[in-house]
């Protein structure tokens, strides 16, 4: 069954959006589009966009909507997203969501399916403090919950594992505050549009995946496409 829509994973830092988006993208054969990963790549490459985004990301603030929208539109123009895609970390403000709606109409794609991840602040802080990411393929580990077989080395491609510079406790608190101020209102926006689902993101990775698959199956039964 074709995905033919945008799936949006909404949730605070450390909620497990990236982990689940990666799994779901493989399952449904569509791209996993993380605006955080795109911005980190721009920073690493030292592009103009990266130079603009770097200080904001280091402070845990959001990057301005116009910059993010330009980046997303450019990414969606690639042929691999013609059959749908999974967004992780986007949209993050109501204006971003409104602009995405217009893009979806232009592309003739159905309504998005939005899943909000619920996780306590205590669990979020614990997860983020234990996160290590592969510097080559981007696979994510957690030293408490899902450690690599060899410390510091990715199980998948042998890449070196690194910690994100914005994962320090004080910056994570800033990111959580930005989430509460600017991103949480999106849940109401999508609820009013009748497309919001929620998942208990505090469960284990497999259990959350199963819950998401049930949500996708229910949506497919309702709309005829996922």
In the complex, minimum distance from the CB of residue 213 to ligand AP5, in angstroms, rounded to a whole number: 14
- Smaller CB distance to ligand AP5: residue 29 or 204? 204
- Smaller CB distance to ligand AP5: residue 94 or 220? 94
Applying CB under 6 A, the residues found at the interface with ligand AP5 are 11, 13-19, 34-36, 39, 56-57, 60-63, 68, 88-90, 92, 96, 127-128, 130-131, 140-142, 145-146, 175, 204-205, 208
In the complex, minimum distance from the CB of residue 142 to ligand AP5, in angstroms, rounded to a whole number: 3
Q: In what order do the strands lie in the sheet with 113-118?
A: 32-34, 85-88, 6-10, 113-118, 196-200
H or E stretch covering 57: helix 48-59
3-class DSSP assignment, residue 99: helix
What are residue 190's phi and psi, to 5 degrees? -75, -30
User: Which of these, 183, 163, 169, 168, lies nearest to 63 by C-alpha position?
Assistant: 183
Helices (H), 29-119: 35-45, 48-59, 65-76, 94-107
Q: Which of 5, 40, 92, 127 is catalytic?
A: 92
Q: Which of 5, 40, 127, 175 is catalytic?
A: 175
- Smaller CB distance to ligand AP5: residue 25 or 35? 35
User: Which of these, 132, 128, 129, lies nearest to 162 by C-alpha position?
Assistant: 132
Is 175 tagged catalytic?
A: yes
In the complex, minimum distance from the CB of residue 180 to ligand AP5, in angstroms, rounded to a whole number: 12
Q: For residue 179, what are its two tokens?
A: 């989430």
Q: Which of 111, 146, 164, 191 is catalytic?
A: 164
Rg of the Cα atoms in the chain: 17
Is 131 tagged catalytic?
A: yes
- Smaller CB distance to ligand AP5: residue 173 or 225? 173
Closest residue to ligand AP5, Cβ-based?
Answer: 36
In the complex, minimum distance from the CB of residue 111 to ligand AP5, in angstroms, rounded to a whole number: 19
Is 5 tagged catalytic?
A: no
CA distance 213 to 211: 5
What are residue 144's phi and psi, to 5 degrees? -90, -40
Q: Which of 17, 40, 54, 127 is catalytic?
A: 17
In the complex, minimum distance from the CB of residue 1 to ligand AP5, in angstroms, rounded to a whole number: 25
- Write out the catalytic residue numbers: 17, 92, 131, 164, 175
């Amino acid at each position: 069954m074709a995905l033919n829509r945008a799936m949006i994973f909404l949730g605070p830092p450390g909620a497990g959006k990236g982990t689940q988006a990666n799994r779901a993208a493989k399952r449904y054969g569509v791209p996993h589009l993380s605006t955080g990963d795109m911005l980190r790549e721009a920073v690493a490459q030292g592009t103009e966009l990266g130079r603009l985004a770097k200080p904001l990301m280091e402070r845990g603030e959001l990057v301005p909507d116009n910059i993010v929208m330009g980046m997303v539109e450019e990414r969606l123009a690639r042929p691999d997203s013609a059959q749908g895609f999974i967004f992780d970390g986007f949209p993050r403000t109501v204006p971003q969501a409104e602009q995405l709606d217009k893009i979806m109409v232009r592309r003739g794609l159905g309504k998005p399916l939005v899943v909000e991840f619920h996780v306590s602040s205590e669990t979020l802080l614990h997860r983020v403090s234990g996160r290590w990411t592969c510097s080559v393929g981007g696979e994510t580990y957690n030293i408490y919950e899902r450690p690599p077989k060899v410390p510091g080395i990715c199980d998948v491609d042998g890449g070196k594992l690194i910690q994100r510079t914005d994962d320090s406790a004080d910056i994570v608190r800033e990111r959580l505050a930005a989430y509460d101020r600017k991103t949480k209102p999106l849940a109401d926006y999508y609820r009013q549009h009748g497309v919001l689902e929620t998942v208990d993101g505090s469960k284990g990775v497999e259990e959350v995946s199963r819950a998401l698959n049930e949500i996708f199956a229910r949506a497919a039964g309702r709309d005829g496409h996922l």
